[in-house]
Amino acid sequence: AEAYPKVKRNSDFKVLDPADLAYFHSILSNDEILNSQAPEELASFNQDWMKKYRGQSNLILLPKSTDKVSKIMKYCNDKKLAVVPQGGNTDLVGASVPVFDEIVLSLRNMNKVRDFDPVSGTFKCDAGVIMRDAHQFLHDHDHIFPLDLPSRNNCQVGGVVSTNAGGLNFLRYGSLHGNVLGLEVVLPNGEVISNIDALRKDNTGYDLKQLFIGAEGTIGVITGVSIVAAAKPKALNAVFFGIEDFDTVQKLFVKAKSELSEVLSAFEFMDRGSIECTIEYLKDLPFPLENQHNFYVLIETSGSNKRHDDEKLTAFLKSTIDSKLISEGMMAKDKADYDRLWTWRKSVPTACNSYGGMYKYDMSLKLKDLYSVSAAVTERLNAAGLIGDAPKPVVKSCGYGHVGDGNIHLNIAVREFTKQIENLLEPFVYEYIASKKGSISAEHGIGFHKRGKLHYTRSDIEIRFMKDIKRHYDPNGIMNPYKYI
Ligand code: 2HG
Ligand code: ZN
């Protein structure tokens, strides 16, 4: 695991003592507390999914109610005990694990659906509901959760809102800034601010919930979420294309928007490196196309009438072949095929992470520039002779992501982390993004990885505003410290 460089523990924060433990035991039951008697369990809360960051927390609190979260926060604020709120701990920027001995406040035990209104589609749940369970609940009620991620089996609704994750169907259902109707949040001083009963439209002043969407637990703990669920599509289909250059990927996107229009629900791309890693990783799963290409595109349609959608998709496939935009294409024949095509996309992050480690960037750029950052990085790695078969440290550079959202994920799969690779990548990547007026975090957040890097995307005055807000809500700075700002 990567050590935490260049930070020192803030000595203003109190070190946990027996009196603190006694207090937590007085308000929580035994199954709501984990401490150093359970070292293995502690480790899973301290270590991130990529195994890149590891904290040293000796205390994990897993309260079962908002009231208990409130008592915990008030106490921690009074005593200046630092706290890291944690959902499913699937984040990719070291945001959800402690850096030193911060208390981990896990939402895992707050896992109940609170309410569902099938007429408006309003779904309310505790923050700790696993996304898969939210999907299942809504599926059983003829709806879907408006967001899906490769980590759906582990990530939690509150964590997803807290990091403002984007996911695979953003193109259709849009941002959490639009889908979240209301939040229940415990502030650092223990006060509960709630507009969980909010209405679809409400223009009575500042929209305060927006502050907590994407705040990564730096100004409060999200304990409840109200969100608009969409009607469950009755028809789903997918096509997989092989394409030779990124210009053509863009042309295909324009064509898909125009010809598939209201049924288009995802437009994802992967480059050669991404698919090479995934082919190695998925071993026995037959690849859907006959040949290898420079780019692959997965297009999903979802709508209410299978015949109508399939007709549209078939016509689209035919016209792309006729116009010679694509080299090869394959349309799913049934649900199993559809799932398999998605497996090729959803497995890319795990495949890239299977060699030892990865350097990971998540960026927004104008569509015309989207792939250029990946090309520039690959060229640098090549020029330095760092990429190739062992013993070279870099296995492959993998660029993939969400064309529809102008979001590329760049994963540099490595055999080991080295300073040489890191120095080649950073600050180059960030400077490149800044020069193109892009964003250094499209949907994964800031966390520990991108601390102190907001200025590549945000202006001084914006950062000052953020700092003012942070200081106002969290004057002691106890919420998820050493990250973000
Ligand atoms: C995805 O789009 C997720 O698959 C994860 O945002 C991307 O691991 C990544 O870099
Ligand atoms: Zn993504």
- CATH number for the domain spanning 246: value is 3.30.70.2190
Cα–ligand 2 centroid distance for 68 (angstroms): 33
Q: Are residues 226 and 240 in the same domain?
A: no
Residues 292 and 376 in one domain: no
Distance CA 178, CA 161 (A): 11
> For position 2, what pLDDT does the model report?
54
Closest atom of ligand 1 to 165 CA is 6
- Residues 154, 242 within the same domain: no
Cα distance between residue 52 and residue 468, in whole Å: 31
Residue that finishes a domain, picked among 348, 381, 403: 348
Task: Give 175-205 pLDDT, tens digit per residue.
Answer: 999 999 999 999 999 999 999 998 888 899 9
Both 278 and 376 in a single domain?
Answer: no
| pLDDT surpasses 80 at 472 | yes
Question: What SS3 string covers 149-182?
Answer: CCCCCCCEHHHHHHHCCCCCCHHHHCCHHHHEEE
Nearest to 374 by CA among 413, 400, 344: 400
Q: Are residues 239 and 342 in the same domain?
A: yes
Ligand nearest to the CA of 277: 1
Is the pLDDT score of 335 beyond 50?
yes
Rounded CA gap, 401 and 396, in Å? Answer: 16
Per-residue confidence band for 5, with pLDDT thresholds at 50, 70 and 90: low
Residue of 479, 484, 481, 476 whose CA lies nearest to 458 = 484
Residue 57 in domain: no
Residue 4 is predicted with a pLDDT of 58
Q: Is 185 exposed, middle or buried (0-12, 13-18, 19+ CB in 10 A)?
A: buried
pLDDT above 60 (res 3): no
What pLDDT, in 10s, does the model give residues 82-128?
999 999 999 999 999 999 999 999 999 999 999 999 999 999 999 99
Cα of 409 vs centre of ligand 1, distance in Å, is 6
Q: Which amino acid is at 344?
A: W
The pLDDT tens digits for 368-399 are 999 999 999 999 999 999 999 999 999 999 99
Rounded CA gap, 59 and 35, in Å?
5
Q: What confidence tens digit (pLDDT) does each residue in 233-259 have?
A: 999 999 999 999 999 999 999 999 999
Closest residue by Cα to atom 10, ligand 1, is 409
Q: What is the mean pLDDT of residues 328-348?
A: 96
The C-alpha atoms of residue 23 and residue 20 are separated, in whole angstroms, by 5
Is residue 418 in some structural domain? Answer: yes
As a whole number of Å, the CA-based R_g of the chain is: 23
Domain assignment present for residue 70? The answer is no
Q: How many angstroms does the Cα of residue 206 sit away from the middle of ligand 2?
A: 29
Which ipTM score applies to this complex? 0.98
Rounded to the nearest angstrom, the distance between the alpha carbon of 148 and the centre of ligand 1 is 11
The pLDDT-based confidence of 17 (bands split at 50, 70, 90) is very high
Of 406, 425, 420, 439, the closest CA to residue 359 belongs to 425
Residue that finishes a domain, picked among 196, 231, 266: 231
Judgement on whether residues 239 and 344 belong to the same structural domain of the protein? yes
- Answer yes or no: is pLDDT of 1 > 60: no
List the residue whose alpha carbon is closest to atom 5 of ligand 1. 349
Q: What is the share, in percent, of the chain residues with pLDDT greater than 70?
A: 99
Mean pLDDT within 411-428: 96
| Domains identified in the chain, total number | 3
For residues 427-440, give the mean pLDDT.
98
Are residues 221 and 155 located together in one domain of the fold? yes
How far is ligand 1, taken at its centre, from the CA of residue 344, in Å?
13
My answer on whether 189 and 209 are in the same domain is yes
Same domain, yes or no: 254 and 338: yes
Residue 48 lies in a domain: no
Q: What is the mean pLDDT of the chain?
A: 96
Residue 332 lies in a domain: yes
In the listed set 328, 348, 368, which residue is the last one of a domain according to the structure? 348
SS3 content of the chain, % helix, strand, coil (to 5): 35, 20, 40
The domain that holds 373 is classified in CATH as 3.30.70.2740
Average pLDDT estimate for 67-75? 98
CATH of the domain at 137: 3.30.465.10
Pocket test residue of 49, 154, 169, 348 for ligand 1, highest count of atoms within 8 A of CB: 348
Cα distances from 152 to residues 147, 190, 217, 350, in angstroms, run 9, 30, 20, 13
- Measured from the Cβ of residue 124, the count of other Cβ atoms closer than 10 Å reads 19
Flag whether 485 is in a domain. Answer: no
With a cut of 70, say whether residue 74 has pLDDT above it: yes
Same domain, 362 and 262: no
Domain assignment present for 203? yes
Does a structural domain hold residue 455? Answer: no
> Which domain covers residue 296, as residue numbers?
235-348
Whole-number Å distance, alpha carbon 401 to ligand 2 midpoint, is: 6
In this prediction, residue 282 carries a pLDDT of 98
Q: Residue 405 and residue 345: Cα distance in Å, rounded?
A: 16
CA separation for the pair 384, 378 (Å, rounded):
10
Q: Are 298 and 344 in contact (CB under 8 A)?
A: yes
With a Cβ cut-off of 6 Å, ligand 1 is lined by 92, 150, 349, 360, 362, 401, 409, 411
Residues 404 and 430 in one domain: yes
Q: Which of 444, 449, 450 to mutate to test the pocket of ligand 1 (most atoms within 8 A of CB)?
A: 444
Per-residue model confidence (pLDDT) at position 39:
86
Residue 175 sits in the same domain as residue 274: no
